[in-house]
Amino acid sequence: MKKSIILTVMLSISIIILISCAPEEPGDTGEPPQAVTFTVNTVTNGRPIGGVNLTYEGISIQTNSAGSLVLTFDPAEYTEGTLPETVTITASKKFFVTSSTTFTLSDYTESSTLAEDIEIAPRIFIPDMMGNLGVGRIVAIDDMSGTNRVDLSEIPGYIDSIAENNEIEAKLGKLDAPTAINVDYDNGIIYIFDVESSGNAAGPSNAAFLIRLTDFPTSTSDTLAAADVKIFGPLYISFKSRAAAPSLTAIHQAVITGVDELLTISGNTYSSVELHKLSGMSTGTITVTEAAADTANNLPTSLAPGLTVLPNGKLLLLHDSIGGANEEFLVLDNFADTDTSDFMTNSSPSPGDVDYFALAFRLLVDLDGRWLYTGDVYNSNWHQEGTEMDRIARFNLSSTAANLDRTNYGSEGSGTAQFNEPVLLAVLPDNRLYIQDAANSRLIRIDWTGSGTASGYSAYKPENNAGTADIDESFGFEYFYNAC
């Protein structure tokens, strides 16, 4: 009897030992599984991007304006009662390239840094006024390799209302010469300025149309819906008078200053500079307001090919003195009070000097408010023979020096870090500078590190296959000067 009891006790102890030593099932820690909470940040080139749609596990949610979102994965929400080993999140936003990131949840149960950065890159939009077999177009690409290229030349509802003697039926409803594009990446709006040349017995003229898009084809099989298009124009007439109003002469640069607001700078060789505010486009009725008369605000005469907003909210105007020794940079307090003042000391350099401008074009400020850029298209006396020094001029806005510690990048040519008529295109949300290298028919992207050292140079120039295909894949970049 005693032996039987002893054997029974020993057997029970052995069973207990075997159970306690049995290998655990995967993920079984002996304790109820815990929820995992961490922060997702949506960024482009390391910079926060807000309003990004995140889709995962059948859920769709959006990051806040700072590009941040806290995610919690609770085992109780899964049928098995355990967390999945991996989760894939797809990030998407209008006018950005959709991307996906797969991460392992177990990494976050063991990590003290509970954050995941998801990179999402802006699409690049390029106005090509030379166009596809003679028709203007907007070219969109995903990256500097030209991935997922989409050409847009026909706009729903866009009829050539200025068609005259020299127009051809095949061009009706299509872009003629899109000279500028402004993309509001935050609010998903694109503004295109299309200039149309026409003529009759009274002489030639140019008329501009503003096209507002709230979408853009995402692939070659995609189309643009009429509901996403609003068309305004003609907005300016050059060379001859017409009944259409208002008359804005030649627009050289537009700046987005609000969800439904643009500022434009215009003028030609023989007329005064004009500053206008365009607003109300979302309603379908545009309002155009002109700044005070020249006699009141001292705006200069002749060409004004550049306009930007400084970090302090004031406007900076680039004025071309036409044949003079220098361009001028003038500060305007704001749109309503446009008394001008000199932006920096003018040392009156000579053609070819490092501080000389002969034909600067467009102004851009980086997203940190530190660097001011302009394209020095032709550094010589452009009325006479001179040395070409095509390059990018950059100014340090945090400097107190008279010339804002200007530095020049690049030289004339077609190689790496060389330009032939560099016209600034944009500073995109990735804080990189994009340049239309006009005469080289290519797009240039430049990164600058925090110290101001140029890095990350890249170029996109597809082959010209017009001789072997119906579509010319090359670019015919151009820019408008004088009274165009």
- Residue 58 and residue 205 in one domain: no
pLDDT digits (tens, 9 = 90+) for 418-445: 988 888 889 999 999 999 888 788 899 9
- Residue 195 and residue 335 in one domain: yes
CATH number at residue 292: 2.120.10.30
pLDDT digits (tens, 9 = 90+) for 6-31: 444 444 444 444 444 444 444 444 45
Residue 67: its pLDDT value, please?
A: 96
DSSP state of 96: B
State how far the Cα of 290 lies from the Cα of 265, in Å rounded to an integer: 10
What letter represents residue 107's amino acid? D
Picking from 76, 96, 119, the residue at the C-terminal end of a domain is: 119
pLDDT digits (tens, 9 = 90+) for 256-306: 999 999 998 876 655 667 788 999 999 999 998 888 654 445 666 667 778
Q: How many domains does the chain have?
A: 2
- Residue 143 and residue 96 in one domain: no
* Helix locations, 323-384, DSSP H: none
Is the four-CA dihedral 471, 472, 474, 478 of positive or negative sign?
negative
- Residue 110 and residue 165 in one domain: no
387: in domain: yes
Taking the model in full, what pTM does it have? Answer: 0.84
Domain range spanning residue 79?
Answer: 36-119
Those residues with Cβ within 8 angstroms of residue 324's Cβ, 6 or more apart along the chain or in another chain: none
230: in domain: yes
- Residue 74 and residue 164 in one domain: no
- Residue 221 and residue 266 in one domain: yes
78: in domain: yes
Under the banding of pLDDT at 50, 70 and 90, the label for residue 91 is very high
- Residue 272 and residue 138 in one domain: yes
438: in domain: yes
Those residues with Cβ within 8 angstroms of residue 131's Cβ, 6 or more apart along the chain or in another chain: 137, 153, 175, 177, 476
466: in domain: no
- Residue 225 and residue 261 in one domain: yes
- Residue 55 and residue 162 in one domain: no
Selection from 194, 275, 200, 278 nearest residue 240 by Cα? 200
Residue 202: its pLDDT value, please?
A: 43
- Residue 228 and residue 321 in one domain: yes
